[in-house]
């Protein structure tokens, strides 16, 4: 410093900066060769500026002990390569450990090139990234057999950013605040189920994605997710060329919103999961009755609008979800029978934990009488609330309190549940 003027010169500032202690746990990387060879799992590798790997033949090999990387921001720091048949991040024989990275972008734009070809060394390694953009990548490549993956604040811009999951994942993959824009059209998917892919925990995303005409969100099937409620699409925005169409089944061609692994809520442009179901009579049959004795209802029932419900026996609705849920329960049924007979209807709930049927609601008796169409009928309409746990069921029963004459539930009569 000039003590007369009080001004520090540039040379003095540089000297003071160079005199600052260097963090022994960081490696500042300014060129591709800084990532060559065996990298040190105990160091943080700093991506300083835009580093071009084109023509170097150098890949970043993630050692079995893992690797940590950081840049300044996804505008100021980046790793790029335009070579054909190139992979930016690779695994050694035996696989890689944890990969954590933040605040830079990646571009692998050559023909048949990709960002990742990574296999977990232990099946208990993590892939965790924050504020990473993939710009104009030919492919994101694959991740094989990791415990879990986490993306926070990521972006997919241009190119064909397909990421393939392979092998058995003990955990899941969580994408929080991610955007997809201006990607290339084609017959590919953002998230691909590869060889042997099984995910035990959740695939969860709130992604904001504007896709092209033929790109899908993912090609997962129910068989990739053996556990209930583990494909979680929550608060997504999904469009094709700016247009939202929740009826577009090609967004997720191999799995739907109502399937058991899926819980899709609060989305725009993609279907939401409305847990519930409906059974209705499609073929009438007389229900044989004994005076004042409850009986199950005869006829052929059809299941519809079912999400996390099935119908294991005629006229039954069974809740398959893992958690107790309060449902609205709707009854709208019409019986024909002998004029002047009084009939009653009740709702029964199968308590699976106790392995027993419990009478839940009995409706006021209705007298069979001649209706507007000249038929002898009695109608029951009711809405109530019911709590169903996993594998609990509901059904209706009927009895004649006047005689033992039979009754017939008429077509279009139905019972239904909807989640409150």
Burial classification of residue 241, based on how many CB atoms lie within 10 Å of its CB (0-12 exposed, 13-18 middle, 19 or more buried)? exposed
Phi and psi (nearest 5°) for 34? -70, -15
The DSSP secondary-structure symbol of 38 reads: S
> Into which CATH architecture does domain 276-419 fall?
Sandwich (2.60)
The DSSP secondary-structure symbol of 12 reads: H
Question: How is residue 76 written in tokens?
Answer: 């100021």
pLDDT of amino acid 307 = 97
Greatest Cα pair distance in the chain = 116
Low-confidence stretches of the chain (pLDDT beneath 50): 1-20
Using an 8 Å Cβ cutoff, are 222 and 198 in contact? Answer: no
pLDDT of amino acid 17 = 36
Query: Which strand ranges, in their side-by-side order, compose the sheet holding 60-61?
Result: 60-61, 87-90, 114-119, 141-144, 163-166, 189-193, 216-218
pLDDT of amino acid 21 = 52
pLDDT of amino acid 308 = 98
The Cα angle at residue 24 between residues 22 and 26, in degrees rounded to 5: 90
What residues contact 203, with CB distance under 8 A and at least 6 apart? 172, 173, 191, 218, 220, 225, 230, 231, 232
């Amino acid at each position: 410093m000039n003590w007369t003027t009080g001004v520090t010169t540039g040379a003095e500032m540089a000297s003071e900066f160079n005199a600052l202690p260097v963090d022994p746990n960081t490696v500042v990387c300014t060129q591709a060769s800084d990532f060559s060879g065996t990298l040190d799992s105990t160091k943080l590798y700093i991506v300083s500026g835009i580093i071009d790997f084109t023509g170097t033949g150098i890949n970043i090999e993630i050692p079995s002990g893992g690797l940590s990387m950081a840049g300044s921001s996804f505008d100021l720091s980046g790793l790029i390569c335009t070579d054909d048949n190139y992979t930016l991040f690779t695994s050694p024989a035996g696989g890689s450990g944890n990969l954590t990275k933040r605040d830079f972008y990646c571009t692998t734009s050559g023909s048949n090139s990709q960002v990742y070809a990574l296999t977990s060394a232990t099946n208990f390694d993590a892939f965790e990234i924050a504020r990473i953009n993939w710009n104009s990548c030919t492919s994101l490549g694959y991740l094989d057999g990791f415990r879990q993956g986490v993306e926070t604040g990521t972006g997919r811009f241009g190119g064909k950013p397909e990421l393939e999951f392979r092998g058995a994942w003990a955990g899941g993959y969580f994408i929080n605040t991610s955007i997809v824009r201006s990607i290339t059209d084609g017959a590919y998917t953002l998230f691909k189920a590869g060889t042997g892919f099984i995910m035990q925990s959740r695939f969860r995303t709130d992604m904001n994605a504007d896709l092209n005409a033929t790109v899908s969100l993912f090609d997962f099937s129910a068989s990739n997710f053996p556990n209930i409620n583990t494909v979680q699409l929550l608060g997504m925005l999904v469009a094709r060329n700016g247009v939202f169409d929740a009826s577009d089944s090609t967004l997720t061609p191999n799995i739907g919103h109502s399937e058991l692994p899926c819980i899709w809520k609060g989305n725009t442009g993609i279907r939401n999961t409305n847990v519930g179901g409906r059974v209705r009579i499609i073929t009438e049959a007389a229900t044989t009755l004994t005076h004042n004795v409850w009986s199950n209802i005869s006829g052929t029932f059809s299941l519809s609008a079912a999400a996390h419900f099935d119908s294991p026996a005629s006229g039954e609705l069974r809740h398959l979800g893992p958690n107790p849920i309060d449902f609205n329960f709707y009854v709208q049924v019409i019986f024909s029978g002998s004029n002047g007979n009084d009939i009653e209807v009740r709702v029964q709930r199968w308590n699976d934990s106790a392995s027993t049927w419990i009478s839940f609601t009995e409706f006021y008796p209705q007298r069979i009488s001649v209706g507007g169409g000249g038929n002898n009928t009695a109608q029951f309409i009711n809405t109530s609330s019911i709590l169903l746990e996993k594998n609990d069921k509901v059904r209706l029963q009927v009895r004649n309190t006047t005689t033992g004459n039979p009754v017939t539930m008429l077509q279009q009569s139905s019972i239904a549940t909807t989640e409150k």
